[in-house]
A and B are shown apart, each in its own frame.
Chain A
Amino acid sequence: MLWKLLPVAYGLLQVALRFKDDAALAKRLKARDSRAMSDLYDRYGRLAYSLIHRVVRDSAAAEDLVQETFLRVWNRMQSFDEEKGSLGPWVLAVARNRAIDYLRSTDGRMAVGALELDRLERPASFSGFDDGALSLDRARVIKAAFDKLTPTQKQVIELAYYEGLSQSEMAERMQQPLGTVKTWVRGALKAMRDQIAGGASA
């Protein structure tokens, strides 16, 4: 719903997720250069805060979770591949997972597993992206594809990304059969993937 009410925040789209000198910054972070942390925050702090705020909808909690995000990145930097890695997607994944973890703990949904999220944000996973996969153009294509989704497709995507709900949890929340929810989710993801594939070949 928020997507409808707010004008598209293209300000964020100016932040493509692959900076030319991410490798240099990653190297400095690994070398424990204290200025590097300040640069990392300048680059991704606002993005991380916006994402976390979108999930938890509480400014004080969002601040704490941003701190936790950057501490986690700093502590795990040594496993990051500075040559092939992309800092942006990693920082965003850590930020989103901290926020979802918080949401689940306040909802009493902890069972779904903090360990699982932990495993999925290993720095090594965030390397070897295709050229262009993190470009500003790609962000525009994805945003445009999202905007074209049906209202129910948008809703399930938001529940997955910003509330961390599984498809069965969505079915319960939306009072819909699981099969229907799965159709919406797959349709939405496919629509976005297809747009990317189309945009790439065009």
Chain B
Amino acid sequence: MSRCQEFREEFELYALGVLDPPEMAEIDAHLREGCAECEAALKNALALNAMLMATTPEVVPPARLKRKVLAGVGVHRMSWGWLGALAASAMLMIALWLSVEERTRASELAQARRTLITVSAQRDRLLQAMSFLDDPATQPVSFGKGKPLPPHGNVFLHPQLGVLLIASNLPPTAQGKIYQMWVIPKGGSPRPAGLFQSEGGTALHILSGPVDLASVGAVAVTVEPEAGSQAPTTTPIIVAPVGP
């Protein structure tokens, strides 16, 4: 019996992860060689496994499970599907959001804080965001709400902390381009407020430092060359007017 035939006798077990490690490794190595027939046999094994498991006797889940599943991925009550792109940090941001919009959700924020500790890559940025959103002096301004396609999200302003932008539906910029935020004073020219990229359509950007809230007329975002610009060179794709 050829090696391939031997392997094919066990592909179902391989796909279930129940072969002993040396056998798993052997099959892995063989598949990496690009054996087309074994690839096809593995597909059949995956299909057999799926169909056999699909004949499991039915048990009806409680109705609440659907709500829990949807809440678990952060789409419960909100049409914020874009948040999921950031995985663990998505949970955090939703909790942050709720802490601003619904102060009663204190326990979720506590959980978000715990999640935060594990998200090492974005931790610093997110910690900063958390203190920002937590502060009663922060003023939220919405933009683009209710429109399905254009970028939408929120800008948060704080007299000492600065400006926090959370936006969704931001497509990735073209090669060599970047997003640039601008703080536009009332009756003045836009001032550069930092560069950022969108991750999976979602962006979180912070301009740190004191801001004179009374003088800010709007916060805007444009697409700029990678190095950033001194003044906007394209039409803003986000404009969030600030103030009464």
Q: Which residues of A contact B (CB under 8 A)?
A: 2, 6, 8-9, 11-13, 15, 17, 31-38, 41-42, 45-47, 49-51, 53-54, 59, 62-63, 66-68, 70-71, 74-75, 78, 86, 88-89, 92-93, 96-97, 100, 112-113, 116-117, 120, 125-126, 128-130, 133-134, 138-139, 142-143, 146, 157, 160-161, 164-168, 185-186, 189-190, 192-193, 196
Contact = CB atoms under 8 A, between A and B. Distances in A.
Interface string B4-36: 000001101111111111001000000000000
A88 to B, nearest CB: 6
A96 B53 contact: yes
Nearest to A134: B47
B84 to A, nearest CB: 5
A67 B79 CA distance: 19
Nearest to B57: A9
Counting contact residues on chain B (CB < 8 A from A), the size range is 35 or more
Given A71-B72, A116-B17, A160-B18, A11 B58 contact: yes
27 contacts: A8-B57, A15-B54, A32-B81, A32-B83, A32-B85, A54-B57, A63-B61, A67-B68, A74-B84, A75-B84, A89-B49, A92-B53, A112-B17, A113-B17, A120-B16, A120-B17, A128-B43, A129-B43, A139-B55, A157-B52, A160-B13, A160-B16, A185-B13, A186-B10, A189-B9, A193-B44, A193-B48
B87 interface: yes
A69 to B, nearest CB: 8
A71 B73 contact: yes
Given A67-B65, A92-B54, 11 more contacts: A12-B54, A89-B49, A92-B50, A100-B17, A112-B17, A113-B21, A128-B43, A142-B48, A164-B17, A166-B20, A193-B44
